[in-house]
Amino acid sequence: MKKFAELANYERNVSKNIYKYNAYRKAAGTLAALSYRVKNGEEAKKLPGVGEKIAKKIDEFLQTGKLQKLEKINADGISAPINLMTRVSGIGPSKAKELVDAGIKTLEDLRKNQDKLTHHQKIGLKYFQDFEQKIPREEVRRLETSLKSVIANLDKEYILTICGSYRRGKDESGDIDVLITHPKFTSESMDAKNKGGMLKNIVKHLEKEGIITETISIGNTKFMGVCRDPAESSKPFRRLDIRVTPSDHYYCAVLYFTGSDLFNKNMRAHALKKKFTLNEYTLKHLTLEGLPGNAELITSEEDIFSKLGLPYKKPEERNS
Ligand code: DTP
């Protein structure tokens, strides 16, 4: 339900109540996944993620066509501009509030006040319209082919996976999340400088091919920037993140960056119940004192599920 998505945005961007943000998102996801429409709150309460308060809002909406809470939010003069500011890549809820408090409420205002923006935020503003447009699956697939071909020319052994919503089989994605590893690159064998060299070399070649068009930031393991396949110059510019990861961390990273974020949260919570700690690098047993032990040997995503006693879920089954 679109109203719950709006409430979720408000909770994340304005109230900064992540708990409520997740609750509304979960309810919105549950309702959107139904092949029918619920008739009332009572019926909705039987669904996962729908409690008393959300059921009441469903009744209110079905009876009046509105939600008082949203009406108030939309009329308060600050929530709508804060939400707008957070749509600029690089602007989070705190920065958005700071800008709105300083009277900067429109994209036009932002353009006149670029001195208040970081390099990332300036790029976010420059490509605002482009970054708002979803990326069709076919376009990501073609870019995947181009990326693979460029890095294979550098070293045939590179392994590249596009994660995020694309890997979960979605028809459209918000951005492109790329993970790269190399069998010889392990957490033992390479120091930060080696890793940085590898990433910088990859980025340099993607720039030379005209695929990467702007850099937002680049460190030893993470590049954030902008891309467009030169063969598709009529298409919008897209946000691209590239991470290089040692091969012994690769599958934890692939799992994490495939998401969805709600799926990750549930999996991490499950891991904790099983006395494990799971993050984008490793899976570790917790000792009796509750401290992380040695990293488990992981050579596939299946390994992670199996060590946690969970049935394997294909990426397409990880959408909630
Ligand atoms: P979109 O199509 O909007 O890009 P996405 O690819 O699922 O959707 P992101 O690109 O924002 O989402 O992030 C990629 C993955 O990284 C996401 O699916 C799961 C992981 N991730 C990001 N943020 C978090 C988080 N806060 N908690 C857990 N996992 C996260």
* CA–centroid distance, residue 256 to ligand 1 (Å): 8
Tell me how far the alpha carbon of residue 276 lies from the centroid of ligand 1, in angstroms. Answer: 22
Q: How confident is the model at residue 243 (pLDDT cuts 50, 70, 90)?
A: very high
The pLDDT tens digits for 11-63 are 999 999 999 999 999 899 889 888 898 999 999 999 988 999 999 999 999 99
Q: What is the DSSP string of 195-223?
A: HHHHHHHHHHHHHHTT-EEEEEEE-SSEE
Evaluate the omega torsion of the peptide bond into residue 233 and state whether it is cis, within 30 degrees of 0. no
Question: 110-144 burial, b if ≥16 CB within 10 A, otherwise e?
Answer: beeeeeebeebbbbbbbbbeebeeebeeebbeebb
User: For this structure, is 97 an active site residue?
Assistant: no
Is residue 207 pLDDT above 70, yes or no?
A: yes
Residue 192 has pLDDT above 90, yes or no: no
Q: Which residue of the set 3, 46, 56, 57 is catalytic?
A: 57
Share of the chain above pLDDT 90, in %: 81
Q: 290 vs 255, which has greater pLDDT? A: 255
Quick one: angle between helices 2-10 and 18-33, nearest 10? Answer: 170
Which phi and psi (to 5°) does residue 223 adopt?
Answer: -110, 135
Strands 176-181 and 238-244: parallel
The Cα–Cα gap between 144 and 206 comes to: 12
Ligand 1 centroid distance, CA of 41 (Å): 30
Q: How confident is the model at residue 289 (pLDDT cuts 50, 70, 90)?
A: confident
Ligand 1 nearest atom to the CA of residue 258, by list position: 18
Q: What is the ipTM of this complex?
A: 0.91
Closest CA to 228 of 206, 247, 253: 206
CA 152 to chain centre: 27
Residues in contact with ligand 1 by the CB-under-6-Å rule are 164-165, 173-175, 177, 256-257, 259-261, 264-265
- Residue whose CA lies nearest to ligand 1 atom number 25: 261
The Cα-based distances of 154 to 105, 149, 158 in angstroms read 46, 9, 8
Q: How far is the CA of 289 from the centre of ligand 1 (A)?
A: 31
